[in-house]
Chains A and B, each alone.
Chain A
Amino acid sequence: DQQVKQNSPSLSVQEGRISILNCDYTNSMFDYFLWYKKYPAEGPTFLISISSIKDKNEDGRFTVFLNKSAKHLSLHIVPSQPGDSAVYFCAARGNSGYALNFGKGTSLLVTP
């Protein structure tokens, strides 16, 4: 059973516009959330994270929003750039677990 869900397999956005990637989770014990970015033939690289005590975390062009009541988080990329084209994975962890639970990923394509 998938505890972290990314329901959009792909997303296409024009350069300069906002990209919004969504993620839902089912386990209310999750208290730490991360986004990873993956290029082909490479391992995932950490992008941004958020603790459950916050509802927003910002790092340059990347902002993650967390809505605990809805068990939903989103990643906003503004402005989007062609180099942002990659697969983005949402991941979550509980405060007593070792493993990260990953979604299936969303493939983002930013077109010039």
Chain B
Amino acid sequence: GAGVSQSPRYKVAKRGQDVALRCDPISGHVSLFWYQQALGQGPEFLTYFQNEAQLDKSGLPSDRFFAERPEGSVSTLKIQRTQQEDSAVYLCASSLVGTSGATNEKLFFGSGTQLSVL
């Protein structure tokens, strides 16, 4: 597709349920990011992939959060045993080049998955 695609668009989960959020980046984009945006806040970095390698996962809030990008294209963010504080919009973004040595690339964001944990 032309842009970054995320699914589902909305997800309602019961507390304790596991969820999986999918991101299809722009074809050929090397870099892929996941961000979490709570209500009234700016996006907060979760994790970064360069192709299939997860180079930074310092933003993942707990070990309940896990992300993968096994073939260097589609990525999945998994949240285990969801809690109410996990309720947020989860944004995926991709860029054409890797970040090393290229500081002026811009990110293309998807529309996000709005997760509500009841």
Residue positions of A touching B, CB distance < 8 A? 4, 6, 31-32, 34, 36, 41-46, 49, 51, 89, 91, 93, 95, 98-105
Contacts and interface: CB of A to CB of B under 8 A. Distances in A.
Contacts of B112: 43
Contacts of B40: 104
Interface residues on B, range: 20 to 34
Given A4-B42, A32-B103, A102-B43, A43 B4 contact: yes
B43 A44 contact: yes
18 contacts: A4-B42, A32-B103, A42-B111, A43-B91, A44-B109, A46-B106, A46-B108, A49-B104, A49-B106, A93-B103, A95-B103, A99-B33, A99-B56, A99-B59, A100-B107, A102-B42, A103-B42, A104-B41
Contacts of A4: 42
Given A99-B45, A104-B40, A105-B42, A43 B109 contact: yes
Contacts of B45: 98-101
B25 interface: no
